[in-house]
Amino acid sequence: MKKQTHCYALVLLSCLISLASTNLFAATQAGSELESHARISETASAYIASRHPWQKMKTKITVQALDPRTKLLRCPVKLEAFLSSGAKIKRRTTVGVRCNGKKPWKIYLPVTVEAYANVMVARHPIAPNSEISERDVSWSQRDISALGYGYLQSLGDRGGYRSKRSIAQGAVLTPNMVEASSIISKGQRVQLNSNTGPVSVSMMGIAMQDGALGSRIMVKNLNSGKQLEGVVASENVVLLN
């Protein structure tokens, strides 16, 4: 009787091992017929990496992980990434990935791009209407993709900047915080150049107001006494219309 029971146990154990092997094979086979989540993510990441607007900067691209329960048939051809009609690549972008095989499918993944650059930061509180110099700023690496109001990387060309409002210590300097400093002062003698027509004419004048590089100001012609409008071209030259 004991011998017979032992035989039954061996048969049962053999059956269990065979069933487990069959299930394992089936699971492995089923897994091989499903698309790799890593391949889908890599396709979305590569698409953004080659097209985002911060190509010359240090960037970090993060693709949101797919739900583990997501099961898609393995694509027999190369996966294709795409954007919805009218969409543009921003800090956060939804990227589509599709399979154009015999059994097509598509899925959408959120992708985030971080782009780092050195930007100007206020070294200390800056009062309104203050000339900004190198003593007032420092440079810090920030994720500029998150700076919705833009950023400044230098003190600009001739004349530099003047603060339009209070700027807190540590704040990233943005274009809407500053304005170009005046390089021509009211009452200053300036050269007036006129390039209208085939003949260029130069004359002396007086600035009627302060002017930053590229701004429009009123000037007075010293010969005729007429007031004219021109564009500030340098520290002592105004281009007349």
Task: Say if residue 92's pLDDT is above 50.
Answer: yes
132 and 109 within one domain: no
- Which residues are CB-neighbours of 146 under 8 A, at least 6 positions away? 91, 114
How far is it, in rounded angstroms, from Cα 88 to Cα 95? Answer: 10
Of 138, 160, 180, the domain-final residue: 180
The verdict on 176 and 206 lying in the same domain is no
> Using an 8 Å Cβ cutoff, are 115 and 161 in contact?
no
Per cent of the chain over pLDDT 90 is 52
Q: Which of 26-35, 125-134, 193-202 has the lowest mean pLDDT?
A: 26-35
Residue 27 maps to a domain: no
Q: Model confidence over 182-208: pLDDT tens digits?
A: 888 889 999 898 876 566 788 899 999
Q: Is the domain of 108 the same as that of 121?
A: no
* Domain boundary, last residue among 114, 135, 160: 114
Tens digit of each residue's pLDDT (9 = 90 or more) over 147-184: 888 888 888 655 678 898 999 999 999 988 988 778 88
Q: Establish if 22 belongs to a structural domain.
A: no
Torsion of CA 97, 99, 104, 106, to 10 degrees: -10
The domain boundary residue, chosen from 152, 180, 208: 180
User: Which residues span the domain enclosing 65?
Assistant: 37-114
The SS3 call for residue 69 is coil
Contacts of range 23-29, beta carbons closer than 8 Å, 24 or more positions apart: none
Domain annotation covers residue 127: yes
Are 109 and 49 members of one domain? Answer: yes
The winner for highest mean pLDDT among 4-8, 61-65, 86-90 is 61-65
Q: Which two tokens stand for residue 13?
A: 């154990």
- pLDDT tens figures, 32-74: 699 999 999 999 999 999 999 999 899 999 999 999 999 999 9
Q: What is the Cα–Cα distance from 122 to 142, expressed in whole angstroms?
A: 13
Contacts of residue 240, defined as CB under 8 A and 6 or more positions apart, other chains included, come to: 192, 193, 194, 196, 219, 228, 229, 230
Q: Do the Cβ atoms of 170 and 126 come closer than 8 Å?
A: no
CATH number of residue 129's parent domain:
3.90.1210.10
Report whether pLDDT(10) > 80.
no
Check whether residue 120 and residue 173 sit in a common domain. yes
What is the reported pLDDT for 201? Answer: 83
pLDDT band at 21 (very low <50, low <70, confident <90, very high): very low
Q: Are residues 159 and 193 in the same domain?
A: no
**How many domains are contained in the chain?**
3
pTM for this entry? 0.62
Examine residue 143 and state whether it is found in any structural domain, yes or no: yes
